[in-house]
Amino acid sequence: LVPRAARCVTFGIKSDGADLTIEAASLEETADSISAAVIDNRAREVFPLVLPMPGRHNLSNALAAIAAASAAGIEVRRAVLA
C-alpha cells in the first residue's frame, strides 16, 4: 500500500481532528457485535459500519484498515462496505 498511498490518512475513535473518526453517539455494542457511524471529515460524509464481533479494539482495527484503504485510493464508502 505504501507505494500507492496518496497521502497520510489520520484516524481515531476519539480523535475530533482526524480524517476518519467515529460518531460517539452512534456507537452500539452487544455481546456479539459492535456498530458505529464512520465519519469522513475530509468529504463530510458518514457511513454506517457493523462488525460481527464485539470490542472497541476491533472497531479501531477496522478504522485503521479503512484509513489504509483510503490512503491507497479506495473510496471510504467502498472500504466500509468491504
| pLDDT band of 2, cuts 50, 70, 90 | low
The pTM of the full predicted model, rounded to 2 decimals, is 0.89
DSSP 15: -
Q: For residue 11, what are the contacts with CB-CB under 8 A and spacing of at least 6?
A: 18, 19, 20, 21, 63, 64, 66, 67
Return the SS3 of 37. strand
Confidence at residue 7, expressed as pLDDT on a 0 to 100 scale? 77
Residue 45's alpha-carbon distances to 9, 64, 68, in angstroms, are 15, 17, 18
- Confidence grade of residue 6 (pLDDT, cut at 50, 70, 90): low
